[in-house]
Chains A and B, each alone.
Chain A
Amino acid sequence: MAVVELNSENFEAEVRKSDIPVIIDFYADWCGPCQMMRPVFESLSEDYKGKLKFGKLDTDESSDIASEFDVSAIPCLVIVKKGKEIERITGFASRTILKQKLDKITK
């Protein structure tokens, strides 16, 4: 699967101990812009295969992790490199804007 479903059980291994940077999509099922974000995020996960790991986290199911990252509004994309947050995008972002940011990170 191109996008990993993250939760408190796999977060440590998939995100904190990841060898490559991870972009996390904090979302909720009832959030309209999160639904818009989904296809953009999924298609980008194909473009950055091997360079960037794509994960999504349901903020209702894993509210502890969302709180830890101080996520107050969704969709929220957080990029974590070597266990540390390096970038955050809150609100819907177009494919073009996201690509610009991701290209810089994966250069």
Chain B
Amino acid sequence: MNPDKEKELLEKYKKYAKENNFKLNPDKKIVDTIIKGILRNEEKYGFRYCPCRRITGDKEKDKAIICPCIYHRDEIKTQGHCHCMLFFKNDKIKVKK
């Protein structure tokens, strides 16, 4: 795994979150795992697929799960975070464990 690429992607998602009035998960370990998973998918499949969704192999279908996926806005609105817990609503950053 390339640390520069990880840092670059993290910055990209931080910027994206800020622009859209979201926040990244405050748990750095979780964010780090997700970033690594996205980059692993890019290496393996050529696209930055969400590591919390299963890749079907149908490229047209799988476009929907390239991070940020097509579901994240609705999920953030209804659950307070996206399914993979990368993006959080600005006012909801606590998750009950």
A-B contacts at CB below 8 angstroms, number: 69
Name A32's contact: one of B30, B41, B79 (CB within 8 Å). Answer: B30
Chain B residues within an 8 Å CB radius of A71: 54
User: Chain B: interface residue count, which band?
Assistant: 20 to 34
Find out whether the CB atom of B83 lies under 8 angstroms from the CB atom of A91.
Answer: yes
Which residues of chain B come closer than 8 Å to A67, judged between CB atoms?
54
Using A73-B83, A92-B95, A95-B97 as known contacts, say yes or no to A31 and B33 having CB atoms under 8 A apart.
Answer: yes
B85 touches A72 (CB 8 A): no
Verify B54–A72 contact, CB threshold 8 A.
yes
Q: Is the CB of B30 within 8 A of A33?
A: yes
Does A72 lie within 8 Å of B53, measured CB to CB? yes
Are B54's CB and A33's CB within 8 A? no
Q: Mark out the residues of chain A between 50 and 86 whose CB falls within 8 Å of any chain B CB in the assembled complex.
A: 59, 63, 66-67, 71-75
Partner of A74 from B34, B40, B53 at Cβ < 8 Å: B53
Say yes or no: A92 contacts B54, CB within 8 Å. no
Are A32 and B40 in contact, CB atoms less than 8 angstroms apart? Answer: no
Across-interface contacts of B84 in A (CB, < 8 A)? 31-33
Candidates A28, A72, A90, A92; contact of B51 at CB < 8 Å: A28
Determine the chain B residues whose CB is within 8 A of the CB of A90 once the complex forms. 83
User: Which residues of A are interface residues toward B (Cβ below 8 A)?
Assistant: 28-36, 40, 59, 63, 66-67, 71-75, 90-92, 94-96
